[in-house]
Amino acid sequence: MSWRQSIGGWGGLAAVAALLLLLCAASVSLGAGQLSWTALWGGEDAERAWRLLMVSRVPRTLALLLAGMSLAVAGLIMQMLVRNRYVEPTTAGTVESATLGILVITLVAPDTPVIGKMLTATGFALAGTLLFLALLRRVPLRTPFIVPLIGLILGGVIHAATTFVAYRYDLLQSLHAWTTGDFSGVLRGRYELLWIGFGLACAAYAAADRYTVAGMGREFASNLGLNHARLTLAGLLIVSAISAVVVVTAGGIPFLGLIVPNAVSLMLGDNMRRSIPWVAALGGIFVLACDIIGRLVIHPYEIPIGTVVGVLGSILFLWLLRTRRNRLG
């Protein structure tokens, strides 16, 4: 049995599940306010302990888990559709476009409910992603690194325009909250939209075989009877909706959709049906671990998870880049 088969077997799944449960328990145990586990089962503080657990700690842990899983899967879908391992929502202008959408709806209709802001952000994210793909068709792609470079430039232009508008209308603080991932304010009633992202990730798993074929190119997919354009649009809509849901709920989280799918592909290959459960689980583990680190470094204060993921993600990305280069060489 090869090392890939041993990792992808039941033993590897059991280890990942155990680690995920351990991190969930640690996440629930940490946070502002003292949570006494003994008080949950009786005593004067039982009601307060249960309220703290169910209103703050459990929703935050679920939000972290759902955001990590869905964003990692979104990154995998985008990489398969664009056929480039260095693309994800934060390197394709998708997240920046979603942020612009939230700013626009905040200016035009500030009383719009959260679901309306999410739908608006989804539309802007989809438009930004389609613009990114249109630019790719008009630029000679001599190396794989040109693709994320174009996405970063597009995202920078969109972010600059968003910052200018936010400055003119005194919304820079709100813009900072949308662009920096932070789960410290997540409470019951303020994270439930993330279940939509999880449902979309499950929908991607149901169509995993089709996206695997789509990742082999338009001609190959068309020869097998698949409507490549429709499949691409559906995949980009899933990516856009997931990105919008996370931005509306907690802000942007960089690198997640980049490093997790790359790490899984190094171990298990490019079969999406086999990879998606691992991508989702490792995405949840990575986000939970980064959030716990951010809560422990300067306890009792917190470092936003977007900052922690940005630092660790950049280091891991450089390592993955070197690993892929050594394998190709």
CA-CA distance, 285 to 272, in Å (whole number)? 19
Q: What is the DSSP string of 209-277?
A: HHHHHHTT-HHHHHHTT--HHHHHHHHHHHHHHHHHHHHHHT----SHHHHHHHHHHHHH-S-HHHHHH
- Rg of the chain, C-alpha, whole Å: 20
The confidence score (pLDDT) of residue 327 equals: 58
pTM metric for this prediction: 0.88
Nearest-CA neighbor of 68 among 292, 274, 303, 297? 292
How many C-beta neighbours within 10 Å does residue 329 have? 5
**How far is CA 104 from each of CA 109, 121, 172, rounded to the nearest angstrom?**
8, 9, 13
How many C-beta neighbours within 10 Å does residue 25 have? 11
Amino acid at 296: L
CA-CA distance, 257 to 74, in Å (whole number)? 7
CA-CA distance, 227 to 218, in Å (whole number)? 9
Nearest-CA neighbor of 226 among 235, 38, 107? 235
CA-CA distance, 267 to 275, in Å (whole number)? 9
The confidence score (pLDDT) of residue 183 equals: 87
For the four alpha carbons of 100, 73, 16 and 311, in that order, the dihedral sign comes to negative
CA-CA distance, 283 to 240, in Å (whole number)? 18
Contact 117, 123 (CB under 8 A): no
CA-CA distance, 269 to 51, in Å (whole number)? 44
Is the omega angle on the peptide bond into residue 300 within 30 degrees of 0, that is, cis? yes
Contact 260, 282 (CB under 8 A): yes
Angle at 225 between CA 215 and CA 261, to 5 degrees: 15
- The tens place of each residue's pLDDT in the chain, 329 residues long, gives 444 544 555 567 778 888 889 998 888 887 766 665 555 666 656 677 777 778 888 899 999 999 999 999 999 999 888 888 888 898 888 999 999 999 999 999 888 888 999 999 999 999 999 999 999 888 887 777 788 889 999 999 999 999 999 999 998 888 888 888 888 888 888 888 899 999 999 999 888 888 888 778 788 778 877 788 888 888 899 999 999 999 988 888 888 888 899 888 888 877 788 888 899 999 999 999 999 999 888 877 888 998 999 889 888 888 877 776 665 45
The confidence score (pLDDT) of residue 153 equals: 92
- All structural domains of the chain, each given as residue ranges with its CATH number in brackets, are 3-328 (1.10.3470.10)
The confidence score (pLDDT) of residue 53 equals: 79
